[in-house]
Chain A
Amino acid sequence: MPQMQSNVTWFPAALLMALATLSGCGRVEWNDDLEYPDRTSSIVVLDKPPDQAPPGFPLPGRPAVVPEWLTARGVTLLNPASMSEKPWSDNWKNTLHDELISHFATPGKPRLGAPDAPALTVLANELGLTESKLAEGARLYRRLCVQCHGMSGDGVGASSAWLSPAPRDLRTGDFKFISTAEHKLPSGFQPLKARPRHEDLVRSLRSGLEGTSMPSFALLGDESLEAIAAYVLHLSIRGELEFTVMNGALRQDRETLQLVTKSPEQEELIRYKRLLSTTLEWEDPEADVDDFVAKQSSPSIKAYAEKYIDRVLREYIAANKNPLPVPAYPYPENQPLPATSITAGHTLFKAQCVNCHADYGRQSDLRFDIWGSVVRPANLTQSQYKGGRRPVDLYYRIARGIPPCAMPKANLGDTDPGRAGWDLVNFLQALPHPDQLPSDVREQVYGPSRIKLGANP
């Protein structure tokens, strides 16, 4: 009898083992019938930030955005689930869904621009977002990024709950580490968003973001990185359109869906039109202003979607052609950092940066970024930079700020902003290395008791 029993248990055990081995087998590509999920996560409205600093980074295994905490402190969360109740338009949720499908298709066969909007496809191709590149990018994204950034780029992939800082939600169109020049717009206009240049995305992918869980993908080679960067833009533009339409609808704000929001002075409008026409090669600069306004007002989500994508693509193209000017380095190259420059940088830093980077970042208070997740103003004594350690990267950070983290761009004065900028960069470069700082600065930064002169004095 006991022998019988052992024969019986033998079968299920073998089958279980076979099934366990099987569970690792999967396809490398997206399924053809898979669709991007509609946005379900709330939109965090941080127009008015909460009056209290976040209590800490979220605990491992908890979502990075802490909705209960935010709502308890008066921050509005717009919940897409309540969209269909808003009387903004008939059945508009479905319309948005259809528009997203027609312009961006599916993860298995991504594209940018509906077949009936060839103008968009032309722009997309100019940016390098061709269908073959997007397909390759989607394939690599599925293999390398999806566990953190999620299928639609929502930043809540399977492993995201255990990561701090949280993987980026790519669906708002905001990026931190960018190097574009800024356009000044008259008040009352939807501002041009700070767009990353191709360079910036590829840099982030090539070197990773040091100090976060985002790793380097340098070994993939340039071709693949370019394809992934293209797909990141595809996801980002898709998410941004969805985000913007939902945002407008949930606020019951019809005007959000107009690209020209208010009726400004005729003169300003002409300036704005000029600016858009020249920077984005949008409309004929000489066209009639009333005509221009009429063209920007969208009667339907369908028309709006097309115009919005058109504008965003033009913004990306303009960003690539419009890099932040980098002033020439005013000191001799290949020399030790000049002490006077470091001291000047230190003075600027004390005036503008210490209220966030308290104690040079060693005692920074936590803050919120525009995604409603927690960020910590960097500890600048660590020699660790998410956006790159080249002096030019640091220059970009201070001259552009980090808009999504509310880090403002530095005020470099009018007399010699180039020199002031490099002074700050020189100070930042020397800051983590006490032996590089002039003695009075070192005394102030590290104090007599905290001086540690590198590894081997």
Chain B
Amino acid sequence: MTTQQIDLSEWTFWLPIAFTIFGIGLFILSRFWTRAWFATFTLTIAGVTALTVASPFVGWWLPAQGSSFSGEVDNLFLLIMFLTGLFFLLTEGLILFVLWNHAPKPGTAPLPIHGDHRLELIWTVVPGILLALIAVIQMPTWARMKGQGNESWLSARYESGGDKADLLLTVQGRQWEWRVRYRDPSAPPLARPLEWATHPEASDLHAVNEVHAYPGAKVRLLLRTQDVIHSFFVPELRLKQDMLPGRTVPTWFIPTVPAGTSNETRWEIACAELCGGNHYRMRGHLVIHPDKASFETWYSTAAREQSRRSRPPETGPLARKTN
């Protein structure tokens, strides 16, 4: 009934065909022109390098930094980007060198090589050292994001002691939406917040697909899923955390916005774990209010709506007509 129709005016239709023709063309060309591979690789590498260098200047770079640890994460990213970029250029340069100097010469047999111990040792040990270095460098950031750092408001063991979070909320993923539940911020703090994730209280505020917070708020997130593995991802927060069936996964963030922001900021919450047919549709919004007061206004309005005991105001075409 709902058969797929092929639309020839869609550029995505032609893309794989173009690639295929390009591949076949290159294959045939290389039979006649021994520099064909060298030319292709040079163009590709030059293109990729130019794109990367230009990206920050044309707005294709990282999204805005929106949490207390986003700067740290970006520094790690840049460090790794720099290291891998360096080695990319080095290795690709070598490939180009080899392609130029050792292009096939008709009538000569290729020279077989059986490896070189010293070389192999070098290209195993050097990356090994670098990887170990990266592993060590990222440790403090990782520990901090996982609640093991010096965030004094987080209890290191979630089960006991209690956090001094400003906002405690659970986000429950399911195919395909985010079910959100806030704990009443004015309620006394909990001794075991983790258990609250599975034991709702009467005063909780229920919402869907929208997480609200305000700059500087210490937000404690308890992630759960009703079905398969999902992943809570807000690029601006640099926070990506899987939600595992049967488990409550705690995480946290403190949102930041540029000073002087007077409107609410909306960032996309995207599911980052392929979770089924409509995975792409599993989106929500993280709404950062400009300040605590406007968050509180929003919260009390939503809480009042949730305890509504009268008929909601009429909307829709008939209501508009009589207005």
Is A216 in contact with chain B by the CB < 8 A criterion? yes
Within 8 A of B (CB), among A73-132: 126-128
Known contacts A216-B209, A390-B305, A432-B200: does B17 contact A18 (CB below 8 Å)? yes
B307-A27 in contact (CB<8A): no
Minimal beta-carbon separation of A67 from chain B (angstroms):
20
B285: nearest chain-A partner, CB-CB: A219
- The 8 A CB mask of A431-442 against B (1 = contact, 0 = none) is 011011000000
Using C-beta atoms within 8 Å of the partner chain, give the interface range for chain A.
35 or more
Is A53 in contact with chain B by the CB < 8 A criterion? no
A residues at B contact (CB < 8 Å)? 11, 14-15, 17-19, 21-27, 31, 37, 126-128, 142, 144, 146-147, 150-151, 158-159, 179, 197-199, 202, 207-208, 210, 213, 215-216, 218-219, 222, 226, 229, 317, 320-321, 323, 326, 328-329, 333, 383, 389-392, 395, 422, 429-430, 432-433, 435-436, 452, 454-456
Is B110 in contact with chain A by the CB < 8 A criterion? no
Known contacts A23-B4, A320-B316, A326-B311: does B199 contact A218 (CB below 8 Å)? no
Known contacts A218-B209, A454-B201: does B317 contact A126 (CB below 8 Å)? yes
- The 8 A CB mask of B270-289 against A (1 = contact, 0 = none) is 00000001100101110000
Known contacts A127-B317, A452-B199: does B4 contact A216 (CB below 8 Å)? no
- The 8 A CB mask of B284-313 against A (1 = contact, 0 = none) is 110000000000000000000111111110
A216: nearest chain-B partner, CB-CB: B208
B309-A455 in contact (CB<8A): no
Most B-side CB within 10 Å, residue of A218, A323, A435: A218
A25 — which chain B residues lie within 8 A by C-beta? 4, 6-7, 10, 12-13
The segment from B44-52, B189-197, B235-243 that touches chain A is B189-197
Known contacts A383-B200, A454-B201: does B311 contact A218 (CB below 8 Å)? no
Is B1 in contact with chain A by the CB < 8 A criterion? yes
Is B163 in contact with chain A by the CB < 8 A criterion? no
B5-A392 in contact (CB<8A): no
Is B108 in contact with chain A by the CB < 8 A criterion? no
Contact of A430 among B199, B202, B281 (CB under 8 A): B202
B307-A456 in contact (CB<8A): no
6 extra interface residue pairs, beta carbon distance < 8 Å, beyond A21-B15, A25-B13: A24-B12, A25-B4, A144-B281, A199-B316, A392-B311, A455-B192
Most A-side CB within 10 Å, residue of B175, B285, B317: B317
A18-B19 in contact (CB<8A): yes
Counting residue pairs across A and B whose Cβ atoms lie within 8 Å, the total is 142
Within 8 A of A (CB), among B249-284: 277-278, 281, 283-284
A422 — which chain B residues lie within 8 A by C-beta? 309
A216 — which chain B residues lie within 8 A by C-beta? 177, 208-209
Minimal beta-carbon separation of B19 from chain A (angstroms):
7
B1-A37 in contact (CB<8A): yes
A389-B1 in contact (CB<8A): no
A27-B20 in contact (CB<8A): no
Is B184 in contact with chain A by the CB < 8 A criterion? no
Is B318 in contact with chain A by the CB < 8 A criterion? yes
Contact of B206 among A27, A218, A333, A389 (CB under 8 A): A389
Minimal beta-carbon separation of B190 from chain A (angstroms):
5
B5 — which chain A residues lie within 8 A by C-beta? 26-27, 31
A317: nearest chain-B partner, CB-CB: B318
A27-B7 in contact (CB<8A): yes
A19 — which chain B residues lie within 8 A by C-beta? 16
Please measure, in the bound complex, the distance between the C-alpha atom of A390 and the C-alpha atom of B311, giving whole angstroms: 10
Please measure, in the bound complex, the distance between the C-alpha atom of A135 and the C-alpha atom of B179, giving whole angstroms: 30
Is B118 in contact with chain A by the CB < 8 A criterion? no
Is B323 in contact with chain A by the CB < 8 A criterion? no
Minimal beta-carbon separation of A429 from chain B (angstroms):
7
B210 — which chain A residues lie within 8 A by C-beta? 218-219
B20-A14 in contact (CB<8A): yes
A226: nearest chain-B partner, CB-CB: B316
Interface residues of B, CB < 8 Å — how many?
55
A152: nearest chain-B partner, CB-CB: B1
B20-A15 in contact (CB<8A): yes
A433-B1 in contact (CB<8A): no
Please measure, in the bound complex, the distance between the C-alpha atom of A165 and the C-alpha atom of B61, giving whole angstroms: 44
A436 — which chain B residues lie within 8 A by C-beta? 202
Minimal beta-carbon separation of B200 from chain A (angstroms):
5
Is B104 in contact with chain A by the CB < 8 A criterion? no
B199-A158 in contact (CB<8A): no
- The 8 A CB mask of B1-32 against A (1 = contact, 0 = none) is 11011110010110111011001100000000
A455-B177 in contact (CB<8A): no
A392-B16 in contact (CB<8A): no
Please measure, in the bound complex, the distance between the C-alpha atom of A207 and the C-alpha atom of B308, giving whole angstroms: 15
Known contacts A27-B7, A455-B196, A455-B199: does B16 contact A22 (CB below 8 Å)? yes
B177 — which chain A residues lie within 8 A by C-beta? 208, 215-216
A435 — which chain B residues lie within 8 A by C-beta? 202
B283-A219 in contact (CB<8A): yes
B308-A321 in contact (CB<8A): no
A333 — which chain B residues lie within 8 A by C-beta? 309
Contact of B312 among A215, A222, A392 (CB under 8 A): A392
Is B186 in contact with chain A by the CB < 8 A criterion? no
B175-A213 in contact (CB<8A): yes
Please measure, in the bound complex, the distance between the C-alpha atom of A8 and the C-alpha atom of B126, giving whole angstroms: 40
B310 — which chain A residues lie within 8 A by C-beta? 326, 328-329, 392
B20-A18 in contact (CB<8A): yes
Please measure, in the bound complex, the distance between the C-alpha atom of A454 and the C-alpha atom of B24, giving whole angstroms: 67
B201-A14 in contact (CB<8A): no
Known contacts A15-B20, A18-B17, A455-B201: does B209 contact A198 (CB below 8 Å)? no
Minimal beta-carbon separation of A288 from chain B (angstroms):
31
B317-A198 in contact (CB<8A): yes
Minimal beta-carbon separation of A227 from chain B (angstroms):
11
B6-A22 in contact (CB<8A): yes
B38 — which chain A residues lie within 8 A by C-beta? none
Minimal beta-carbon separation of B185 from chain A (angstroms):
16
Contact of B318 among A229, A320, A390 (CB under 8 A): A320
A331: nearest chain-B partner, CB-CB: B309
Please measure, in the bound complex, the distance between the C-alpha atom of A179 and the C-alpha atom of B311, giving whole angstroms: 9
Is B41 in contact with chain A by the CB < 8 A criterion? no
A199-B315 in contact (CB<8A): yes
A432 — which chain B residues lie within 8 A by C-beta? 200, 202
A210 — which chain B residues lie within 8 A by C-beta? 179
Q: List 23 A-B contacts (CB under 8 A).
A: A18-B19, A24-B12, A25-B6, A26-B7, A128-B316, A142-B2, A151-B2, A158-B2, A159-B277, A199-B312, A202-B315, A215-B177, A219-B283, A226-B317, A317-B318, A320-B314, A320-B316, A326-B311, A390-B308, A430-B202, A435-B202, A455-B190, A456-B191
B277: nearest chain-A partner, CB-CB: A159
B190-A456 in contact (CB<8A): yes
B318-A127 in contact (CB<8A): yes
Contact of A21 among B6, B16, B202, B317 (CB under 8 A): B16
Please measure, in the bound complex, the distance between the C-alpha atom of A160 and the C-alpha atom of B12, giving whole angstroms: 29
Is B176 in contact with chain A by the CB < 8 A criterion? yes
Contact of B309 among A128, A202, A213, A326 (CB under 8 A): A326
